[in-house]
Structure 1
Amino acid sequence: MPKLAQGMATIKQVFDEYAKGDNQLSKAELSELLRKEFGMEPGQNAAADKMFNALDQDKSNSIDFKEFVTFVASLTLILNE
């Protein structure tokens, strides 16, 4: 598999692992993902709420795959500046 396609597949696999089959991330699932995959400690505080609310563009109280991909792309840009 080409490298870019492999990266895209990995993003989907990671999302599915933390979404636990319902194709969306709750605040707790997003916190777990950030802690395990990025070493972040968002905790249950105002900063975590602010990040979650910024990612939840459709205000569904969950992060869907489209919102997650936007987050990963933005984070990639920030880390490569």
Structure 2
Amino acid sequence: EEVWEPVKSYRKVLSTEEDGSITVANVTFLENLYPLLNSGPDEYFPLLCPELVAARVKGLVAQEGAFPIGRGYNFWGDNPLHTAY
């Protein structure tokens, strides 16, 4: 069975759903969302990913954190770019 890398999986799902119909639930580091948001057009959708996400995603739920006074481990990884967005 073929296993797809995360960006390809996200883009395929996002491209097939209706606008404003998706809630992304992230329960680990945000390291898969950063490359997704920086991905370009592909065989599934002709737009850059920020445009695709803006059209399809109605919300993002991310596990971790005690904002605005603290942070959880998932938001404190070794790469600050993973939480840039």
- TM-score of Structure 1 vs Structure 2, range by shorter chain: under 0.3
TM-score where L is the length of structure 2: 0.27
Instruction: Please tell me whether Structure 1 or Structure 2 has the larger radius of gyration of its CA atoms.
Output: 2
TM-score where L is the length of structure 1: 0.27
Q: Could you say which structure has the higher strand fraction?
A: 2
Q: Could you say which structure has the higher helix fraction?
A: 1
